[in-house]
Amino acid sequence: DQQVKQNSPSLSVQEGRISILNCDYTNSMFDYFLWYKKYPAEGPTFLISISSIKDKNEDGRFTVFLNKSAKHLSLHIVPSQPGDSAVYFCGENRDDKIIFGKGTRLHILP
Amino acid sequence: DAEITQSPRHKITETGRQVTLACHQTWNHNNMFWYRQDLGHGLRLIHYSYGVHDTNKGEVSDGYSVSRSNTEDLPLTLESAASSQTSVYFCASSRDRVAEAFFGQGTRLTVV
């Protein structure tokens, strides 16, 4: 049973608008959620994280929101830029290992 | 600069052969991981290690093994390569539970 679900395989957003990527999880016990960004032919790179005791974490254009009652988190990118076109993975860090979702491919349209 | 490197970057092997993918990190991280990336499946955890001589199975460990004889290296071995193991493999390391993992550039393995 998948622990971390990213139900949207792809998302297209106009440049300058807000991109919202979503992630659902099943386990209630976790330490952190992390978001990673991946370009083709490169390894994933860390983007932003949120601990289980917080509702929101912000870093520049990137904000992650955690809704524990709904077991849902989202990544907001504002404003979206062409370089944001990539695959985004949501990951649950529990017991020092990260379990990832299937990823969402984000296309930023000119 | 500290880094994590994987070798080879590309490999083609035949079904039934034993294959070893190398992963080396210079951060002195205790935690190391192997993932595979496949279309429709995202990143799946194969094996991981929390320190020297420690190894653990991940989500998709069948057909794979790892060993941790020092802090810097976690080689991944495919005992008898199968076509289903054609994939892109990523190694990663992290300092501790509050730190993010750093990934290598990946190894594209094709089993023919």
Listing DSSP states for B56-88 in one string gives EE-TT-TTEEE--SSSSB--EEESS--GGG-EE
Say what the pLDDT of residue A76 is.
98
Render pLDDT for B42-56 as a digit per residue (tens, 0 to 9): 999 999 999 999 999
User: Nearest 5°: CA angle at B32, between B30 and B36?
Assistant: 170
Q: Which residues of A touch B98 (CB under 8 A)?
A: 31-32
- The two tokens of residue A1 are 């049973």
Q: Do B33 and A99 touch (CB under 8 A)?
A: no
Say what the pLDDT of residue B98 is.
59
Q: Which residues of A touch B43 (CB under 8 A)?
A: 44, 89, 91, 100, 103
Render pLDDT for A23-74 as a digit per residue (tens, 0 to 9): 999 887 777 899 999 999 999 999 999 988 999 999 999 999 999 999 999 9
Chain centre distance of CA B41: 17
Residue from the list A44, A96, A102 with its beta carbon closest to the beta carbon of B31:
A96
Residues 34-53 of A with CB under 8 A from B: 34, 36, 41-46, 49
Residue from the list B56, B97, B102 with its beta carbon closest to the beta carbon of A93:
B97
Distance in angstroms (rounded) separating the CA atoms of residues A73 and A56: 9
Phi, psi of A64 (to 5 degrees): -115, 135
Give the length of chain B. Answer: 112
Average pLDDT over residues B8-35: 96
Distance from CA of A100 to the nearest CA of B (A): 6
Is the N-terminal amide bond of A82 cis, ω within 30° of 0? no
Render pLDDT for B59-112 as a digit per residue (tens, 0 to 9): 999 999 999 999 999 999 999 999 999 999 999 999 876 568 899 999 999 999
CA neighbor of A61 nearest in space, from A33, A89, A19, A32: A19
Nearest CA in chain A to B95: A96
**Contact (Cβ atoms closer than 8 angstroms) between residue A29 and residue B95:** no
